[in-house]
A and B are shown apart, each in its own frame.
Chain A
Amino acid sequence: MWEYTDKVRKYFESPVNVGEIENPDGVGEVGSIACGDALKLTFKLGADGRISDAKFKTFGCASAIASSSALTEMIKGMTLDEAEKVTNKDIVDYLGGLPKEKMHCSVMGMEALQAALANYRGEEVKKEEGEIVCKCFGITDREIERVIRENHLTTREEVTNYTKAGGGCESCHDKIQEIVDRVVAEEKGKKIELRAVEKKAGKLTNLQKIKLIEETLEREIKPALRTDGGDIELIDVQGDRVLVALRGTCSSCAAAEVTLKGYVESKLREFVTDELVVEEVKS
């Protein structure tokens, strides 16, 4: 049985804003009965330019109904510009989380909202252009790419959880993997460029520095150590001194010092600042 949060259960069991607004300012319809879930979103704009009312009708599981109902609550009172920026992650956060296999329910909410906004602007509501990758659920490479970027996905399974692509006959798995590999590599490249710019400008605040150190540890360093059964934990950052503790096989490894200086420190310097010094804390 799925583990739903209390908020998901509440919005599923007693959904608010069920229905269709008569003469709405925007209508968004996504999904189909074949896919197993579908959402029709309608909204009305107030005189102040903010969304004054929003209603939904949803065919789908508990998390689809909860995501839809939550979405209508979230966007009420928003300007169109604000609504434009709502992502599936916002819906997930609003609900206090969704099981990973159910992430596509939140994506459906975001897509319905964007379709409704496009409809308001008088644009033709059309599926994102691109080449269909998953024939079972009709998902294009563009859609997959976007979800990977917005949610920082790194695996094929995650793409299926978020978009359903690859959840049917599975014949497109290799193609999805290719897209994942490409987009992940591109995103990584972007980050490195960004870091380089930030580094040159030398404008890192202490908080930014700690955050960057953490990110670099998670993304660049820990995965490499873990392949050898090791791990590393950030204990503290004092000025440019980075205090870490080695875990797992690293903690008893004779070459730990080499790993620290030669690998961890050089990676941190590459991605954060050149002044960093890594020191091991025995705990």
Chain B
Amino acid sequence: MNPVYMDNNATTRTAPEVVETMLPYFTELYGNPSSMHYFGGQVEKAVRGAREKIAALIGADPGEIVFTSCGTESDNTAVLGTLESYPEKRHVVTTRVEHPAVRNVGHHLQKKGYQVTELSVDRGGALDLRRLEQAVTSDTAVVSIMWANNETGVVFPIEEAAAIAKSKGAVFHTDAVQAVGKIPIDLSKLRDVDLLSLSGHKLHAPKGIGVLYVRKGTRLSPYIIGGHQEGGRRGGTENVPYIIGLGKAAELAGTRMDDENTRVRALRDKLEKGLMERIPNSILNGEGQVRLPNTSNVSFEYVEGESILLLMSNLGICASSGSACTSGSLEPSHVLRAMGVPFTAAHGSIRFSLSYYNTEDEVDYVLDHLPGIIEKLRDISPFWSDYVRQSVAR
């Protein structure tokens, strides 16, 4: 069974072109880029090329690209490294809808005596910038706000948020793991963004490679202490094949950006519009907000997400859910709860996240099969029969 893969915010297929570019660096070109011989030197040159490609994708200078092992490491480095650089400051501002890679760092810091402000969002998932303005003080070391939400795809106004942080003397970090490669980002024009995290496997590079963008002149202590690699910002021998792969993926993302924002966006729109039309009592989470072109988060009331996922999975359809049962936790997604999505809907939320590789046939396939799955589960659900009974009575 070929999967109908619509879970690209979880991870993406490594592009075949990327794999091909990487392979020689496992076999023939295995030198250490730091070595003082031609054999390492040619690898160093290739790493430099990859750095340039990634810098080009986000409008950065190659010297501002620091390779890490993943998005989580980038996020941890940004927040903890900044705090270490500003020991006199004891306050961090972030949001209630951040990825655990930032949010749980905040919780950890709270336990260690730092003050952490988590900004709330409204029903659509939007931030109130006035609240940000009030929250940032002279004691704030770092403001960390994600560029786009992994669950809903809602895009935050990063330029404005960064300007507020900078005006109060705080460092501004953004977790752009879901944004890079999907929407245009030009850091040469966003002078107030100091730090930005990205992750390779969200843009068709392999898992195990990430980047922390560090604007020139930003004070940041290293998180992994070791050799002189990455300009002393991150110790450890470079993960050469993966860096080369990420360079290729960044190049591809640049050329496919238009496709993502036209064809993929149209597929996403067709999918969510079709689902809303075909399935009664479904709610589009983040509706009316600026969203990523590939992400759709739909709640199907009175049914539970894990059941939906499993029945879809039997048909080869791969997606995610914010339901409690899928994660092993017992409460539904912190993002949907922060948005105030009612429990009748939060447990039945499904996230579809598309990519360059999705086709219209796949969207049609989902539209053909999902309504039947929801109907089947609603037939079993006591709340659905209660709801229908009440609607009839009314």
Contacts and interface: CB of A to CB of B under 8 A. Distances in A.
Contact of A38 (B310, B379, B383): B383
A189 to B, nearest CB: 32
Contacts of A64: 304
Interface string A9-39: 0001101001010000000010001101111
A62 B377 CA distance: 10
A59 B331 contact: no
B323 interface: yes
A36 B380 contact: no
B151 interface: no
A20 B347 CA distance: 23
Contact of A37 (B304, B329, B344, B384): B304
A190 B305 CA distance: 43
Interface string A196-227: 00000000000000000000000000000000
A239 interface: no
Nearest to A31: B382
A18 B344 CA distance: 21
B381 A36 contact: no
B383 A61 contact: no
B312 interface: no
Contact of A60 (B307, B311, B314, B329): B307
Given A13-B311, A59-B304, A101 B385 contact: no
Contact of A36 (B310, B314, B332, B382): B332
B330 A164 contact: yes
Q: On chain B, which size bracket covers the interface? A: 20 to 34
Which secondary structure characterizes the binding site on chain A? mixed
B3 to A, nearest CB: 13
A59 B383 contact: yes
Nearest to A69: B380
A58 B324 contact: no
Contacts of A15: 380
Contacts of B15: none
Contacts of B356: none
A130 to B, nearest CB: 20
A158 B343 CA distance: 25
B339 to A, nearest CB: 16
Contacts of A20: 385
Interface string A29-62: 1000110111110000000000000000111111
A36 B303 CA distance: 9
Contacts of A164: 330
Contact of A62 (B307, B332, B344): B307
Contacts, number: 73
A124 to B, nearest CB: 20
A12 B325 CA distance: 15
Interface string B326-350: 1011111000000000011001000
B219 to A, nearest CB: 35
B382 A29 contact: yes
A36 B325 contact: yes
A33 B383 contact: yes
B73 interface: no
Instruction: Specify which of B310, B330, B332, B343 lies most central, judged by the most chain A CB atoms within 10 Å of its CB.
Output: B330
Contacts of B156: none
A62 B383 contact: no
A106 interface: no
B238 to A, nearest CB: 34
Interface string A111-152: 000000000000000000000000011000000000000000
B385 A36 contact: no
Interface in B295-325: 302-307, 310-311, 314, 323-325
A167 interface: yes
A101 to B, nearest CB: 5
B343 A12 contact: no
Given A60-B304, A101-B328, A137-B330, A13 B314 contact: yes
A219 B384 CA distance: 47
A229 interface: no
Contacts of A29: 382
B373 to A, nearest CB: 11
Contact of B323 (A39, A58, A61, A102): A61
Interface of A: 2, 12-13, 15, 18, 20, 29, 33-34, 36-40, 57-62, 64-65, 101-102, 136-137, 160, 164, 167-168
Given A18-B380, A57-B380, A61-B307, 5 more contacts: A12-B310, A33-B344, A37-B325, A57-B381, A60-B304
25 contacts: A12-B307, A13-B314, A33-B343, A33-B347, A33-B383, A36-B324, A37-B325, A38-B382, A40-B382, A57-B380, A57-B385, A59-B302, A60-B307, A60-B325, A61-B306, A61-B325, A61-B326, A62-B306, A64-B304, A101-B328, A160-B330, A164-B330, A167-B329, A167-B331, A168-B330
In the A-B complex, list the 5 residue pairs whose CB atoms are closest, starting with the nearest.
A167-B330, A61-B325, A61-B306, A57-B382, A40-B382
